[in-house]
Amino acid sequence: MNLEEKVMALLKDAMKSKDEAALRGLRAIKAEIIKAKTEPGAGGEINAATETKLLQKMVKQRKDSLEIYQQQNRPELAAKEQEELAVIEKFLPEQLSPEALRTRVQEIITATGATSPADMGKAMGAATKQLAGEADGKAISALVKELLTAQA
């Protein structure tokens, strides 16, 4: 069962149970899937990697909005973003723990031969490819920078 089929099934359940938070989150996912499928070159289909990227993008947008709403003291809007974020995150693969992430990033840095902050681009390219869907890009970037600075 692909992402679209899962979302449609859960959308029906959410409508029946009148779960507004789930409805908002699922409708947002459905809209992004439709948008991705109709883009030039998509051919009406999207693969699992594209689905994961799409969900990660949505999570990042919600987190950014949540942060802004909290800074502006808008708890009602922050709560809505948090609810949608929880729904969207259910479809993403399990995120790595900070310890596991540190270990994996260190292995990637060693494998790429990066030794200083000047090699950050090389290490980041490999890290983002290998850890796609398993960790947040900001966390990967911060960790790569920290580890390369410590080595220098």
Rounded alpha-carbon distances, angstroms, from residue 59 to 22, 63, 107, 148: 15, 6, 27, 28
Q: Binning pLDDT at 50, 70 and 90, where does residue 79 land? A: very high
| pLDDT at position 83 over 90 | yes
| pLDDT at position 73 over 80 | yes
| pLDDT at position 152 over 70 | no
| pLDDT at position 22 over 70 | yes
Q: Give the mean pLDDT of 2-30.
A: 92
| pLDDT at position 70 over 90 | yes
Identify the top-confidence range among 20-24, 48-52, 97-101.
20-24
Half-sphere exposure of residue 106: CA atoms within 13 angstroms, side-chain side: 9
Q: Of 103, 98, 143, give the one whose Cα is nearest residue 123.
A: 143
Q: Give the mean pLDDT of 75-102.
A: 89
Report pLDDT for 113: 85
Task: Please state whether the predicted TM-score (pTM) of the whole model is above 0.85.
Answer: no
Rounded-to-integer distance, Cα 103 and Cα 94, Å: 16
Report pLDDT for 49: 79
Residue-wise pLDDT for 34-46, tens only, equals 998 888 877 778 8
Residue-wise pLDDT for 91-121, tens only, equals 887 888 888 888 998 888 888 888 888 888 8
- Greater confidence (126 vs 83) lies with 83
